[in-house]
Structure 1
């Protein structure tokens, strides 16, 4: 199998009033910001900016981690904040953003898989323009404001576990690192993250509203998160196989290395959380209160345990 791994080199195409993406998807209704990503020059400016600034992600991650522990020290002898209304609003804003991003990029993903195959979907960066390119860029930028998730944990004086802040910091760095090269496998990573986050943050929002959600929903979401890690590893294996066979693939060995480490570590941490929360026997005299973001009982680097009677 072969394809033209031309990266971001394309020209915007108008056919009978339709905007046509490089993958062949026709769009009649575009938001103004989406239209910008049909311009080669505009997309190139984004790539250039990321190449020049991606290392700032290390600064953001470091400041984030230092702020976490400084905030915990500050709150140690202070009363916790409730922030329930703010938490509801925050979760539903992120849920709507993720759901809309999912809706906008699924058509291109499905058509690419159907017409060009899985290998092309992993190894070609032709998704970096048009509607999918727009929402991929917004996804990359969203990793910074998503750090606010941890603010709620600190100010509400909830237990902060390693999985939460490790997930936030490493996702931010990896996304910016990959974006500078327009990595082909990003098509999969962005889609999976949007899809899982759409469900996850909706769950958080309803939990913050004190809806009584069945336990099977928690298990299903955490299982979906584990599946995301498995697919992430699988995508890296495909990219590695293509490169090792000297076939064109818009993914570097360096990216595969760091991506594999990231997804494998997530799988181990999430599986441990899953086992401890849903499988391992619990002492009758105590109740597990593992919290990741003050909303429920699922693990994704941002979730937590069921609200206690005191919280209610």
Structure 2
């Protein structure tokens, strides 16, 4: 069985990865421009919204979340099938180090679509600002740094990219589906939200492991194309995400559960006193 045995769609066959990689090599620094506009929008938008009533934007939010959910599901299925094939037929090292993810017949389109999608995904924050919801550091830091790192890494076709992108597609497939259900008005279990955060934490741990493997194989002189600068930036990024997502999980679920339990205890005690 070869990689070609995985069914290709016509748009995947026709995609020219050489032009895509060349464009990114020439234009990846524009990600800093996008990030600057993003930061300016956050600062300016929040200042403007202080003097205005919040927007509901329910229908646009449903459409936005559903679109990203469908895109992420397709991306997860296509990249996941490719990475599973490489892992099962050629082993872990090949799945991490092989650059064919960037120019393979099935995955090449989805690799480029992934890095490009990090620019429009900044639009998540638009809804938070216009709806006057709480904007946490983790949210905008994560969006900004993923954009910068994705564009920076794609141009060099660095080792580990296949796993980084596939994991992100998988997590986003679940996360945006959750957001779409919430936007429609479905009452989704709190445990599902906890599960999403746990998968994000797991993603960061796996990212650190992949970086270690790339570094280890490079030190041994084996063919695993990357460079120390990329490994350092990637490791710092994943470690910072890990810490921030753990902190978010503790504050959002553990602390609030304790607060809810304490409030319930106080309410019960107060009710008994009135009896």
Q: Is the 8 A contact 1:153 1:159 kept in 2?
A: yes
Q: Is the 8 A contact 1:25 1:107 kept in 2?
A: no
SS at match of 2:259: coil
Aligned equivalents of 1:36, 1:29: Cα separation in 2: 10
Q: Identify, as 1 or 2, the structure richer in helix.
A: 2
From 30, 35, 40, the counterpart of 2:13: 35
From 42, 50, 58, the counterpart of 2:24: 50
Q: Is the 8 A contact 1:143 1:171 kept in 2?
A: yes
Residue in structure 1 matched with residue 82 of structure 2 by the alignment: 108
Deviation by residue 1:182-216 (Cα, 9 ceiling, x = unmatched): 11211001100000000000000001112111121
SS at match of 1:247: coil
TM-score (norm 2): 0.91
Query: Deviation of residue 79 (structure 1)?
Result: 0.6
Residue in structure 2 matched with residue 259 of structure 1 by the alignment: 234
Query: Deviation of residue 221 (structure 1)?
Result: 1.0
Query: Deviation of residue 108 (structure 1)?
Result: 1.3
2:213 paired with 1:238: yes
Aligned equivalents of 2:176, 2:18: Cα separation in 1: 32
Query: Deviation of residue 28 (structure 1)?
Result: 4.3
From 215, 232, 257, the counterpart of 2:190: 215
2:103 paired with 1:126: no
2:67 paired with 1:90: no
SS at match of 1:282: helix
Query: Deviation of residue 282 (structure 1)?
Result: 2.5
Q: Is the 8 A contact 1:184 1:250 kept in 2?
A: yes
Residue in structure 1 matched with residue 119 of structure 2 by the alignment: 144
Query: Deviation of residue 116 (structure 1)?
Result: 1.2
Q: Is the 8 A contact 1:50 1:179 kept in 2?
A: yes
Residue in structure 2 matched with residue 282 of structure 1 by the alignment: 259
TM-score (norm 1): 0.80
Change (3 A) 1:168 1:28: closer
Residue in structure 2 matched with residue 296 of structure 1 by the alignment: none
Once superposed, which parts of structure 1, at least 4 consecutive aligned residues long, lie more than 4 Å away?
none
Q: Is the 8 A contact 1:25 1:108 kept in 2?
A: no
2:175 paired with 1:200: yes
Deviation by residue 1:143-199 (Cα, 9 ceiling, x = unmatched): 000011000011001111100100000000000000010112110011000000000
Q: Number of residue pairs matched? A: 259
Q: Where in structure 2 are there 5+ consecutive unaligned residues? A: 264-275
From 170, 182, 200, the counterpart of 1:225: 200
Q: Where in structure 1 are there 5+ consecutive unaligned residues? A: 1-19, 286-312
Query: Deviation of residue 24 (structure 1)?
Result: 2.4
Aligned equivalents of 1:74, 1:278: Cα separation in 2: 31
Aligned equivalents of 2:169, 2:201: Cα separation in 1: 15
Deviation by residue 1:72-126 (Cα, 9 ceiling, x = unmatched): 1111110110001111110000000000111112221111101111111111111
Aligned equivalents of 1:27, 1:266: Cα separation in 2: 34
Query: Deviation of residue 27 (structure 1)?
Result: 4.0
Residue in structure 2 matched with residue 158 of structure 1 by the alignment: 133
Q: Is the 8 A contact 2:8 2:106 kept in 1?
A: no
